[in-house]
Chain A
Amino acid sequence: MSDFIFAALQSLMSDPVLLLMIAGGVAAGLVIGSIPGLTSTMALALLVPLTFSMEFEPAIGLLMGVYCGAISGGLVGAIVLNIPGTPAAAATCLDGYPMARKGQLSRALGLGVYASMIGGVISGLALVFIAPALSKIALQFGPWEYFTIVIFTFLTIASLSEGDTLKAVAVAMFGVCLSMIGYSSGVGESRFTFGINAFEGGLNVLPALVGAFALPQLILDTDRIGARVNRLDGRFRLPEFMRAFVEVLSVKWAVLRSTIIGILIGILPGVGPGLSNLLAYSQARSASRTPEKFGTGELPEAIVSPEAANNASMGGALIPMLTLGIPGDASTLMLLSALMLHNVEPGPLLFVMNGNYVAFIFVAFFVAFAFCTVFYHLLIGTIIRVLTVPTQYIVSVIFVLCVIGSYVLNNRMFDVYTLLAFGLLGYGLRLARFPILPLILGLILGPMAEEQLRLALEYGRGSYLPFVTRPFSAAILGLTLLSLLVPLVTHLRARRKSLPTEGN
């Protein structure tokens, strides 16, 4: 792998177009991620379809730039407006905004930015060392293990995602059912087409993905039009911003602990940066000698911890995506669909057959963070000004870009109608408090689940026993059970504790 990494680094450094693509992606990601309501998922949703005609390297370089830029950019909205640009920066508001209100805007931004960069780079190192090792283990997997991994992913996402577990499982299965629409080469039959020719080719995942994530968010964003925003008028000062780096180093253990939390949470399917920043913040408060000062904007670790964790989740989330083809969160789901768009199948074989692609992804990840750091120093004033663009202009422009992105994939209106249908479906799901991620995960992983189940039955001569007799498969099934039981037991214990209080 090290040879591939050096080769990828060499080709990247000798190709200005590739560097430009990553830089452009980072700049776009930083701007989009900083605007409240526009998440990293939205940023990727806008750009993934536009990369279809590009070569692999520039396309993935651009998207890695957007991914890193958008998650990182969320801290600007959180500190300047007290509204997190992305859910990944939710905990940053708690101390970032109070610190900025005290006239320390540059210090707060500096703490967040440097912690983000350190967390991101360490998680990149974890990605480089863990992913190839995990892919070697995954090479021993058969269809039984892959099928159980898909089930594990569905159930883990269901039990860890916010809200109702049963709803999450049901909507994931709904996605699996929709994935069966069209001609199946596995059984040589058309299924669930309702006699409509356009359904023969199946539903195109990308417009469905873009529609389900983007349209509901845009509709909900219209609620912010005309709302009063507590924007700070403090001036940004670069020297003060840069001095924060020394402060970040002074709380290095908090950074390291949060980074580890971020990486571990990122590896888990379905959670990612949205949870890791909150968990890291609460861990930092528990470990602090002055927990009462959290929320006042005095302590550097209160900003550093959530920011190191959310950026560290990125490297973590890429590990299962690259080694098993299982995305860790909605953003990696977009990256997975981008790889599929370029006929690159993530999984252990990717490391054997296309090690150069994997190495390029690793290198692009680090280069994107380098650009992030540079752009924060040069453009943060501009990014702060972008936050004031009125929402009514943003929502409709983004929807136009979504429609164009879906249309240019195959130059057919069917994909645009798919975008709209999944957008309306996604809006309905959000109103009824169904999570959207399991739906799309079902749509993407459904064909994999079906194929692996068919292969497992074929190789096992119709027997289901290997699912429990093969060690890896049995271990994954055990983990699946554990992922369901732990939240259930925690919930029951919490309920039992609350009963006497209610009685009193």
Chain B
Amino acid sequence: MKHVDLLVTGGLGLIVIGLAMQVSQIDSAARASEYYSTRTIPIAFVASTLALFAVLLLRDWRRHARAPAEASNGMISILQPRRLIFLGASVLFVLAFEPLGFVLSSLVYLGVTAVLLGSGSRRELLISLGVAGVTIGFVYFVVVFGLESSLPELGLSL
């Protein structure tokens, strides 16, 4: 199953199936009204969504079977190196945001992505460090002094 359409539609369908399996969590004995049960509307919405995804999956499957040459186009675009680098770095940044703190995680993320996505020259490294410094300073100033909020700091969660 190479086709991105099928993968995404199937994935979303699986999530809806997961939600459908959670319907039993809703206490049907609890009566919200005499005209409908607590499960009525969630079941109606989930069932119609599931039906829509089933139709979509069947239709895309048939289209895919008719035109297999088109199948790999989506995969090629996913595997473009710059997209993968940015996506991977962004996921890592989010995961490191709390343990490393805002300043360190942002500095590493901004520096590394600018260098990896660009040509990787020394000039670019210097510019990216400058951009990172200005961004971090600006955000810190706005959030801490302007919004009077806080940001994760290194060692806070250790």
Among A190-198, A275-283, A309-317, A479-487, the stretch in contact with B: A190-198
Check B33–A434 contact: CB distance below 8 A.
no
Given A177-B16, A191-B26, A192-B19, A53–B147 Cβ distance below 8 Å?
yes
Which residues of chain A have C-beta atoms less than 8 A from B90's C-beta?
A: 215, 218, 396, 399, 420, 423
Which residues of chain B have C-beta atoms less than 8 A from A397's C-beta?
A: 110, 131, 135
CA–CA, A220 to B35, complex, Å?
Answer: 49
Interface string of B37-61 (1 = CB under 8 A from A): 0100110011011001101100100
Which residues of chain A have C-beta atoms less than 8 A from B34's C-beta?
A: 462
Which residues of chain A have C-beta atoms less than 8 A from B131's C-beta?
A: 393, 397
Interface string of B7-19 (1 = CB under 8 A from A): 1110110011011
Given A191-B22, A215-B90, A407-B151, A396–B113 Cβ distance below 8 Å?
yes
Q: Which residue of B lies closest to A416 (CB)?
A: B94
A198-228 contacts to B (CB < 8 Å): 215, 218-220, 222-223, 225-226
A427 part of interface (Cβ distance < 8 Å): yes
Shortest distance between the CB of A159 and any CB in chain B (Å): 15
B2 part of interface (Cβ distance < 8 Å): no
Cβ contact of A166, chosen from B55, B149, B152, cutoff 8 A: B55
Check A432–B52 contact: CB distance below 8 A.
no
Given A187-B38, A215-B90, A223-B82, A404–B139 Cβ distance below 8 Å?
yes
Check A180–B42 contact: CB distance below 8 A.
yes
Check A403–B93 contact: CB distance below 8 A.
yes
A433 part of interface (Cβ distance < 8 Å): yes
Cβ contact of A174, chosen from B26, B49, B114, B151, cutoff 8 A: B49
A126 part of interface (Cβ distance < 8 Å): no
Check A223–B80 contact: CB distance below 8 A.
yes
User: Which residue among A170, A174, A192, A403 has the maximum number of chain B CB atoms within 10 Å of its CB?
Assistant: A170
Given A53-B147, A174-B16, A400-B106, A420–B49 Cβ distance below 8 Å?
no
Which residues of chain A have C-beta atoms less than 8 A from B45's C-beta?
A: 173, 176-177, 180, 446, 450
Shortest distance between the CB of B121 and any CB in chain A (Å): 12
CA–CA, A412 to B149, complex, Å?
Answer: 12
Which residues of chain A have C-beta atoms less than 8 A from B16's C-beta?
A: 174, 177
Check B19–A400 contact: CB distance below 8 A.
no
Given A50-B142, A403-B97, A396–B114 Cβ distance below 8 Å?
yes
Among A295-303, A451-459, A466-474, the stretch in contact with B: A451-459
B91 part of interface (Cβ distance < 8 Å): yes
A395 part of interface (Cβ distance < 8 Å): yes
Shortest distance between the CB of B35 and any CB in chain A (Å): 4
Which residues of chain B have C-beta atoms less than 8 A from A219's C-beta?
A: 83, 86-87
A257 part of interface (Cβ distance < 8 Å): no
CA–CA, A111 to B46, complex, Å?
Answer: 51
Count residues on chain A whose CB falls below 8 Å from chain B CBs: 66
Check B114–A393 contact: CB distance below 8 A.
yes
CA–CA, A170 to B9, complex, Å?
Answer: 10
Which residues of chain B have C-beta atoms less than 8 A from A393's C-beta?
A: 114, 127-128, 131
Which residues of chain A have C-beta atoms less than 8 A from B35's C-beta?
A: 457-458, 461-462
Q: Which residue of B lies closest to A423 (CB)?
A: B90
Check B109–A396 contact: CB distance below 8 A.
yes
Check B4–A222 contact: CB distance below 8 A.
no
B137 part of interface (Cβ distance < 8 Å): no
Interface string of B109-140 (1 = CB under 8 A from A): 11001100111000010011001000100010
User: Which residue among B26, B41, B56 has the maximum number of chain A CB atoms within 10 Å of its CB?
Assistant: B41
A167 part of interface (Cβ distance < 8 Å): yes
Check A413–B98 contact: CB distance below 8 A.
yes
Given A50-B142, A222-B117, A390-B118, A428–B149 Cβ distance below 8 Å?
no
Which residues of chain A have C-beta atoms less than 8 A from B27's C-beta?
A: 189
Which residues of chain B have C-beta atoms less than 8 A from A417's C-beta?
A: 94
CA–CA, A193 to B22, complex, Å?
Answer: 8
Check A401–B139 contact: CB distance below 8 A.
yes
Check A166–B33 contact: CB distance below 8 A.
no
Which residues of chain A have C-beta atoms less than 8 A from B147's C-beta?
A: 50, 52-53, 408
CA–CA, A9 to B151, complex, Å?
Answer: 37
Check A192–B25 contact: CB distance below 8 A.
yes
Check B8–A431 contact: CB distance below 8 A.
yes
Which residues of chain B have C-beta atoms less than 8 A from A391's C-beta?
A: 117
CA–CA, A218 to B109, complex, Å?
Answer: 15
CA–CA, A417 to B98, complex, Å?
Answer: 11
Which residues of chain A have C-beta atoms less than 8 A from B148's C-beta?
A: 53
Given A397-B131, A408-B149, A434-B8, A191–B110 Cβ distance below 8 Å?
no
CA–CA, A190 to B8, complex, Å?
Answer: 28
CA–CA, A225 to B128, complex, Å?
Answer: 15
Which residues of chain A have C-beta atoms less than 8 A from B127's C-beta?
A: 393
CA–CA, A400 to B89, complex, Å?
Answer: 11
Which residues of chain A have C-beta atoms less than 8 A from B117's C-beta?
A: 222, 225, 391-392, 395-396
CA–CA, A432 to B8, complex, Å?
Answer: 6
Given contacts A431-B4, A432-B74, 8 further A-B contacts (CB under 8 A): A166-B52, A193-B25, A220-B83, A396-B89, A403-B97, A404-B139, A423-B90, A427-B87
Which A-B residue pairs are the 7 nearest by beta carbons? A462-B35, A432-B8, A392-B117, A170-B52, A173-B49, A396-B113, A222-B82
Ordered by A's residue number, 23 sampled pairs between the chains whose C-beta atoms are within 8 Å are A173-B49, A174-B12, A188-B32, A189-B27, A191-B26, A222-B80, A222-B86, A226-B118, A391-B117, A393-B128, A395-B86, A395-B117, A396-B113, A399-B93, A403-B93, A408-B149, A408-B151, A420-B94, A431-B8, A432-B8, A454-B33, A454-B36, A458-B33
